[in-house]
Amino acid sequence: MRLRNITGSREVIAESHCVVKEEILKQCPGTWKDIFGNDHPIHIEIGMGKGKFIYTMAKEHPQINYVGIEKYSSVLLRAIQKMQEEELPNLKFIRMDAEDIDKVFGRGEVDKIYLNFSDPWPKDRHAKRRLPSRQFLARYDVILKKDCRLEFKTDNRDLFDFAVEELEPAGWKVEAITYDLHGDAELMRGNVMTEYEEKFSSLGNPIYKYIIYR
Ligand code: SAM
């Protein structure tokens, strides 16, 4: 993700009512029903980038509440701009580092987690920063409802192999896995392409995906 410091992005975020404000995040665990004003299931995307995937999902599934999480203001700004064109009541954003995700959602409050084209952090010493690492899986274990699923897709083979190896020590099991998502009719059903997926699949890169549970 190319990052530029876009002047005014913090101000736009502070004023946008589709962003859950940093100062109230500590009060959020257990209160997401109130934030959305209904008790529909909650699906989150961690590292949503400019938000194409989660915006499309929210539009296609109005009976599900979506929360997009992104670390950088300048990137989140793009997702907010999409909401300014057509606001969706079932979509909220948070600007935060997902390291604290288990402080923002209560135990079992989330019904599905999406990780799409997560940053690879190629150096070994940074492995624990990778979003499908065992350290992050332990956080997801807290917030994800029992029997619910986490879906991860990427075009980065090293990251995918790492993610698969992390599952057993972290206590997660594979429900489905493919090393060629776009050639897999069953897993492609309902697939919404992310920005990165469009870019890398158009270059001919295979897309890897797993669906896991514990
Ligand atoms: N999911 C989008 C897609 O598939 O097009 C964006 C992929 S981009 C490679 C990864 C995004 O994850 C970046 O926008 C980055 O800022 C965000 N990200 C990485 N680590 C994060 C973290 N710890 N917490 C929140 N966002 C994070």
- Residue of 5 and 143 predicted with greater confidence: 143
pLDDT per residue as tens digits for the range 32-79: 999 999 999 999 999 999 999 999 999 999 999 999 999 999 999 999
Is the per-residue pLDDT at 139 higher than 90?
Answer: yes
Given the CA of residue 72, which atom of ligand 1 is nearest to it?
16
Given the CA of residue 75, which atom of ligand 1 is nearest to it?
14
Using CA positions, which residue lies closest to atom 6 of ligand 1?
A: 49
Ligand 1 centroid to Cα of residue 127, in Å, is 15
Using CA positions, which residue lies closest to atom 27 of ligand 1?
A: 47
Total-model pTM: 0.96
Find the mean pLDDT for residues 192-209: 98
Is the per-residue pLDDT at 96 higher than 60?
Answer: yes
Is the per-residue pLDDT at 4 higher than 80?
Answer: no
DSSP class per residue in the chain: ------TTHHHHHHH-TTBPPGGGGGG-TT-HHHHHTS---EEEEES-TT-HHHHHHHHH-TTSEEEEEES-HHHHHHHHHHHHHS--TTEEEEES-GGGGGGTS-TT-EEEEEEES-----SGGGGGGSTTSHHHHHHHHHHEEEEEEEEEEES-HHHHHHHHHHHHHHT-EEEEEES-GGG-HHHHTT----HHHHHHHHTT---EEEEEE-
pLDDT per residue as tens digits for the range 140-190: 999 999 999 999 999 999 999 999 999 999 999 999 999 999 999 999 999
Ligand 1 centroid to Cα of residue 72, in Å, is 9
pLDDT per residue as tens digits for the range 97-137: 999 999 999 999 999 999 999 999 999 999 999 999 999 99
Are 209 and 156 in contact by the 8 Å Cβ rule? The answer is no
